[in-house]
């Protein structure tokens, strides 16, 4: 990833990413990093002065749950891994130009997402930073009816071996587990638990040894309980959260990734069949909003994750996830925090991403309008994007 010239950026309003605001702040950027931030004079000398004193500057968005290999509609015939890799690069590019400077890919097939991540990191292609789980770990038949199509495990030893393989052979950035069936896999019941506590505990043990987070795909109540017992870090979807789940998540500083863009998006396509209608027929939909609001009111950490790549859930409009969060009761600033530092935390990269502070990567967005007044300013008034200290053109 290339970095641009060193620069002093004068920001009219700096949205730090953790809920704080700094008026008339100066940001020093060198070699892709933020080296100082101050409302006074900067200490360093910089090659460029960038005057954004009438603008709003915020961290680049982090969409921590996507599936970059998919097209907008389900494939009518199988696509090769090469084809899916090319499509992934294009999806990642679209997200970047919408202001998403980091993506978390949660369950590509075989090596597709690893290849894309490595190509971007090597500078072969321009793209957002990619944090990649590799294949989702599921029980046999848990996601696909075709044998050998997924990383299937049975028993704790098998789960441990699969996790080690992802971490050691491929450098997985986090681990994704299938704790329940899925709406997008019609042969499964979204409320039915899948991986056992013992299987998930083995995965968590191996991931945590490497300092990596574990995300669990959960719809049904039992699957969430199993995930909490196994010690996962992030509950993805989480439609059936109970008071007890919320209490434990809050106590352990766990993350809820509600993937609202995908859920709310289904409602716009009702009657078209497939995954859109299953959200209604499985009865999962009604429980989503009250449980999300309860988790929000109780102070659970909530992070952005669009599930982009699911049917009709496009790359390029990823920031709409923040709009749905506000529609469902968050303040615009809470939504921004969900899309910046909380999303970085969910991926275990909050030490170097997620806020505009000294020691963080210089990934930032320049907005014409104040997103605290209207969250849609994040996408409607986006003027410039800096990735790793260089402006995108
Ligand atoms: Zn997903």
The whole-angstrom separation of Cα 110 and Cα 19 is 38
Q: What is the 179 CA–ligand 1 centroid distance (Å)?
A: 12
Instruction: Give the model's pLDDT for residue 139.
Output: 96
Q: What is the 344 CA–ligand 1 centroid distance (Å)?
A: 17
Instruction: Give the model's pLDDT for residue 143.
Output: 84
Q: What is the 184 CA–ligand 1 centroid distance (Å)?
A: 9
Which pLDDT tens digit goes with each residue over 63-79?
Answer: 999 999 999 988 999 99
Q: What is the 380 CA–ligand 1 centroid distance (Å)?
A: 26
- Looking at CATH, the fold of the domain delimited by 61-318 is given as TIM Barrel (3.20.20)
Q: Residue 273 — pLDDT band, cuts 50, 70, 90? A: confident
- Rounding to the nearest 10 degrees, give the CA dihedral for residues 281, 326, 361, 51: 140
The whole-angstrom separation of Cα 189 and Cα 180 is 8
Q: What is the 109 CA–ligand 1 centroid distance (Å)?
A: 13
Q: Point out which residues pair with 130 in neighbouring strands.
A: 103
255 close to 233: Cβ distance less than 8 angstroms:
yes
Residue 344, both tokens = 């970085």
Spatial neighbors of 332 by CB under 8 A, at least 6 apart, are: 322, 326, 371, 372, 373, 374, 375
The whole-angstrom separation of Cα 365 and Cα 128 is 13
Instruction: Give the model's pLDDT for residue 148.
Output: 74
Least confident of 9-18, 106-115, 276-285, 294-303: 276-285
Instruction: Give the model's pLDDT for residue 109.
Output: 87
Q: What is the 214 CA–ligand 1 centroid distance (Å)?
A: 14
Strands, sheet with 234-237, edge to edge from the N-terminal-most edge strand: 151-153, 137-139, 174-178, 213-218, 234-237, 255-257, 301-302
Which pLDDT tens digit goes with each residue over 178-223?
Answer: 999 887 787 888 889 999 999 999 999 999 999 999 999 999 999 9
Is residue 88 scored above 90 in pLDDT?
yes
Instruction: Give the model's pLDDT for residue 329.
Output: 97
Q: What is the 88 CA–ligand 1 centroid distance (Å)?
A: 15
Q: Residue 60 — pLDDT band, cuts 50, 70, 90? A: very high
State the CB neighbour count (10 A cutoff) for residue 217.
30
Instruction: Give the model's pLDDT for residue 321.
Output: 98
Q: What is the 307 CA–ligand 1 centroid distance (Å)?
A: 5
Is residue 267 scored above 90 in pLDDT?
no
Which pLDDT tens digit goes with each residue over 100-130?
Answer: 999 999 988 889 999 999 999 999 999 999 9
As a residue count, the chain comes to 393
Strands, sheet with 61-66, edge to edge from the N-terminal-most edge strand: 61-66, 100-105, 129-132
Q: What is the 310 CA–ligand 1 centroid distance (Å)?
A: 7
Q: What is the 217 CA–ligand 1 centroid distance (Å)?
A: 7
The whole-angstrom separation of Cα 27 and Cα 19 is 18
Q: Point out which residues pair with 300 in neighbouring strands.
A: none
Spatial neighbors of 67 by CB under 8 A, at least 6 apart, are: 105, 106, 107, 108, 307, 308, 309, 310
Task: Report the first-to-last Cα separation within the chain, whole angstroms.
Answer: 15
**Domain boundaries for CATH 2.30.40.10 within the chain:** 7-59+355-391
Q: What is the 306 CA–ligand 1 centroid distance (Å)?
A: 8
Half-sphere exposure of 359 (CA within 13 A, CB side): 4
Residue 214, both tokens = 């574990």
The whole-angstrom separation of Cα 374 and Cα 251 is 32
3-class secondary-structure state, position 332: helix
Instruction: Give the model's pLDDT for residue 27.
Output: 98
Q: What is the 159 CA–ligand 1 centroid distance (Å)?
A: 20
DSSP state of 360: S
β-strands 174-178, 213-218 pairing: parallel
Q: What is the 158 CA–ligand 1 centroid distance (Å)?
A: 23
Instruction: Give the model's pLDDT for residue 285.
Output: 80
**Domain boundaries for CATH 3.20.20.140 within the chain:** 61-318
Q: What is the 51 CA–ligand 1 centroid distance (Å)?
A: 40
Is residue 283 scored above 80 in pLDDT?
no
What's this model's pTM, rounded to 2 decimal places? 0.97
Instruction: Give the model's pLDDT for residue 150.
Output: 85
Q: What is the 274 CA–ligand 1 centroid distance (Å)?
A: 16
Q: Residue 230 — pLDDT band, cuts 50, 70, 90? A: very high
Pick the more confident residue, 144 or 328: 328
Q: What is the 238 CA–ligand 1 centroid distance (Å)?
A: 12
Q: What is the 279 CA–ligand 1 centroid distance (Å)?
A: 14
From residue 34, give the alpha-carbon distance in Å to each of 141, 357, 384. Answer: 46, 6, 17
- Looking at CATH, the fold of the domain delimited by 7-59+355-391 is given as Urease, subunit C; domain 1 (2.30.40)
Instruction: Give the model's pLDDT for residue 58.
Output: 98
Q: What is the 182 CA–ligand 1 centroid distance (Å)?
A: 9
Instruction: Give the model's pLDDT for residue 268.
Output: 86
Instruction: Give the model's pLDDT for residue 255.
Output: 98
Radius of gyration of the chain (CA): 20
The chain-wide mean pLDDT, for the chain, equals 95
Residue 284, both tokens = 């999962």
Instruction: Give the model's pLDDT for residue 87.
Output: 96
Q: What is the DSSP secondary-structure string of 270-311?
A: TTS-HHHHHHHHTSHHHHHHHHHHHHHHTT-EE-----BTBT
Instruction: Give the model's pLDDT for residue 2.
Output: 74
Average pLDDT (218-244) is: 97
Which pLDDT tens digit goes with each residue over 338-378?
Answer: 999 999 999 999 999 999 999 999 999 999 999 999 999 99
Is residue 280 scored above 80 in pLDDT?
no
Torsion-angle region of 348 (φ positive above 0: left; ψ -120 to 50: alpha; else: beta): left
239 close to 288: Cβ distance less than 8 angstroms:
yes
110 close to 68: Cβ distance less than 8 angstroms:
no
Q: What is the 244 CA–ligand 1 centroid distance (Å)?
A: 24
Instruction: Give the model's pLDDT for residue 33.
Output: 98
């Amino acid at each position: 990833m290339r970095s641009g010239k060193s620069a002093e950026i004068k920001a009219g309003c700096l949205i730090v990413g953790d809920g704080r605001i700094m008026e008339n702040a100066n940001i020093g950027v060198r070699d892709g990093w933020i080296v100082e931030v101050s409302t006074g004079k900067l200490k360093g000398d910089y090659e460029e002065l960038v005057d954004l004193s009438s603008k709003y500057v915020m961290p680049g968005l982090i969409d921590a749950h996507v599936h970059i290999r998919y097209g907008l509609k389900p494939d009518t015939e199988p696509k090769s891994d090469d084809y899916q890799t090319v499509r992934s690069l294009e999806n990642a590019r679209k997200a970047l130009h919408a202001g998403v400077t980091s993506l978390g890919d949660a369950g590509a097939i075989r090596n597709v997402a690893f290849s894309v991540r490595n190509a971007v990191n090597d500078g072969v292609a321009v793209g957002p930073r990619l944090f990649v789980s590799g294949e989702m770990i599921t029980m046999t038949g848990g996601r696909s009816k075709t044998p050998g199509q997924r990383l299937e495990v049975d028993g704790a030893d098998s789960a441990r071996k699969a996790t080690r393989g992802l971490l050691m052979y491929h450098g997985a950035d986090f681990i994704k587990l299938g704790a329940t069936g899925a709406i997008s896999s019609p042969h499964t019941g979204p409320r039915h638990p899948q991986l056992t506590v013992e299987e998930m505990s083995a995965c968590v043990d191996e991931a945590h040894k490497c300092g990596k987070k574990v995300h669990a795909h959960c719809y049904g109540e039992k699957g969430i309980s199993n995930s909490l017992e196994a010690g996962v870090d992030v509950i993805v979807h989480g439609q059936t959260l109970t008071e007890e789940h919320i209490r434990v998540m809050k106590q352990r500083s766990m993350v809820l990734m509600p993937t609202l863009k995908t859920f709310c998006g289904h409602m716009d396509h009702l009657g078209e069949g497939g995954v859109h209608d299953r959200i209604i027929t499985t009865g999962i939909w009604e429980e989503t909003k009250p449980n999300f609001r309860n988790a929000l009111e109780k102070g659970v950490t909530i992070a952005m994750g669009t599930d982009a790549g699911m049917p009709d859930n496009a790359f390029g409009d990823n920031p709409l996830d923040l709009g749905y969060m506000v529609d469902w009761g968050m303040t615009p600033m809470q939504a921004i925090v969900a899309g910046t530092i909380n999303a970085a935390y969910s991926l275990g990269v909050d030490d170097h991403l997620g806020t505009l502070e000294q020691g963080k990567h210089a990934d930032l967005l320049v907005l014409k309008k104040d997103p605290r007044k209207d969250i849609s300013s994040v996408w409607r008034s986006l003027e410039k994007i800096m990735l790793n200290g260089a402006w995108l053109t």
